[in-house]
Amino acid sequence: MFDYGGDPAHTGPRHLRVRGGTALTGSIDVKTSKNAGVALLCASLLNRGPTVLRRVARIEEVNRILRVLGSMGVAYEWLGPDGDLRLQPPERLDLTRIDADAARRTRSIIMFLGPLLHDYPEFELPFAGGCELGDRTVEPHLTALRRFGLSVERSQGSYRATVKEHVERPGTIVLTERGDTVTANAIMAAARFPDVTVIRNASCNYQVQDLCWYIEKLGVRIDGVGTTTLTVYGRAEIDTTVDYAPAEDPIEAWSLVSAAIVTESEITVRRTPIEFVEIELALAEEMGLAYSRSDEYLAANGRTRLVDLTVHPSPLRAAADKIHPMPFPGLNIDNLPFFAVIASCAKGGTMIHDWVYENRAIYLTELNRLGAKVRLLDPHRLQVEGPVQWTGAEVVCPPALRPAVVLLLAMLRAQGTSELRHVDVIHRGYEQLAQRLQLLGAEIEPF
C-alpha cells in the first residue's frame, strides 16, 4: 500500500467509511469553480479597490491562497454562509511575510507572478506545489512574462523575480503551452500594461473565461474571450469596486454525473456548465449513457450556459476508441480520471491515455484494490476491462485530487464496507463532497 500521508491543513474528516452498493437518488447543485476561484483571488491583486466574489467554494485550495494573501497584508472576510468573499489589498503588500507553508501547498501561487510584476521590481515566491502529478515545468510562464520585463531565478526553494524598469511593448505573444494558468498569468500581466497586447495560443477554458470577464469588470477591455487569440487593452492603474460571481465548476459537475453513472442511479445534477462537459457527455452517450437535460439558463456571471442534467441508469459498453484529453473544447484533462471508473462498469476493454502527466495514471491502478481490472501499459496509458465485481477494501488516498475522488465513487458502487484514508486531498477541490453525497442516499461516515 502506498504511504501517502496527509495534509495537516484540512477542512473536513481525515478518513471516510463507505457502505456501497446502494443506488442514489435526488438532485444536487454544482458549486462554483475551484480553478476560477483561485485565479480570481490572484487577479484581485491587480485592483487597488475592493473585490467581492460570490459563492466562492469553501475548499482547502481557496483557504491556502487566502492564507498567503492574508500574510501579505490583504484584508479578507467571508460575508455569510453562501460563500461570498470580500478582499481589500493594502496600499503596499508586504512580500517579506508571505506564508511559505501555505504557498508551497498550492501550484496556484505561480499566478501571483503576473499581478506582482507591475508594482514590485524585486520579489520572491516559494516554489509552487499542489498535487503530485509529475514534472510540471513553469518555463511557459516565464517565457510569456519575460515580454513584460520579468526574469526569474530559482534558488533555495524560491522563485527570485526581478522586473526591468523600462520595457518595450510586448506586442504579440505566442504562448508555448496552451495552459490555463499560463494564459491567466499572461492576461494578468497584460491587464496593467498600458498598451495593447495580443496573446495567441491562449487557453479558452472555463477558468480563463471567468478571469477575463472579471478583468473586464475592472475596466480592461479584452477581445476574443472564448477563443485562442486574446487582445488585451491594458491600463496602468486599476482602482475600482468590483462584484463578480464565478461560474459553476465543470469538473465537479462531471464528478457528480460520474457518481450517478457508476452507482446506476437517477440523479439530477443542477447548474451544470454544459459547454464545458459536452465532449465528456457525448463520449459517455456513445458508451450507452441515457440522460435528459433542461433548457439552458445563465449562470450568475450572465455568460456561462447552465442546464439541469438528469442521468438515468444505463448498461454501458466500452468506448470504441481510446479516451484522451485535449485543450478546450476537447475532453478536460481533469475529467479524464473519471473514465477509468466509468470504463470499469462498461462491457469490454477501454484504453485511457493521460499524455499530460507522468504520475497520475499509476494512481488509478488503486482501483484494483476494489476489484477493478486496470492495467498500467506505461506511465501515460491504462487498459481498463469491465464490467467487474466491485468489493469493499481499505485504500489510502493518492496525492492527487481527481484519482482520490474516483476511488470514492468506486467505493459507492462496491459491495460491502470500504475505508478511504487520508482524504485531505479531496478537501482541496470539493466543498463537503461526502456530506452532499449523503443527501443523495450515500452511506458515508467520517471517522
pLDDT tens digits, 30-50: 999 999 999 999 999 999 999
Task: Look at residue 128 in the predicted model and tell me its pLDDT.
Answer: 67
Cβ burial, residue 361 (10 Å; 0-12/13-18/19+): buried
For 15-31+247-446, CATH number? 3.65.10.10
Secondary structure (3-state) at 362: helix
Mean pLDDT for all residues in the chain: 93
d(CA 212, CA 33): 15
Task: Look at residue 127 in the predicted model and tell me its pLDDT.
Answer: 79
CA angle 275, 426, 24 (to 5 degrees): 70
Note the pTM of the prediction, 2 decimals: 0.93
Low-confidence spans in the chain with pLDDT less than 50? 1-10, 130-135
In CATH, which of 3.90.1310.10, 3.65.10.10, 2.30.30.90, 3.40.50.720 is domain 34-235? Answer: 3.65.10.10
Task: Kindly state the helix (H) or strand (E) to which residue 404 belongs, with its residue range.
Answer: helix 401-413
Task: Look at residue 342 in the predicted model and tell me its pLDDT.
Answer: 98
Task: Look at residue 134 in the predicted model and tell me its pLDDT.
Answer: 44
Alpha helices (runs of H) in 177-308, residue ranges in sequence order: 180-191, 206-217, 250-262, 278-286
Task: Kindly state the helix (H) or strand (E) to which residue 421 belongs, with its residue range.
Answer: strand 416-421
Which of 224, 320, 56 lies closest to 69, judged by CA?
56
Q: Give ranges for CATH 3.65.10.10 in the chain.
A: 15-31+247-446, 34-235
Beta bridge partners of 197: 232
Which residues have CB under 8 Å from 251's CB, separation 6+? 33, 34, 35, 332, 334, 335, 402, 429
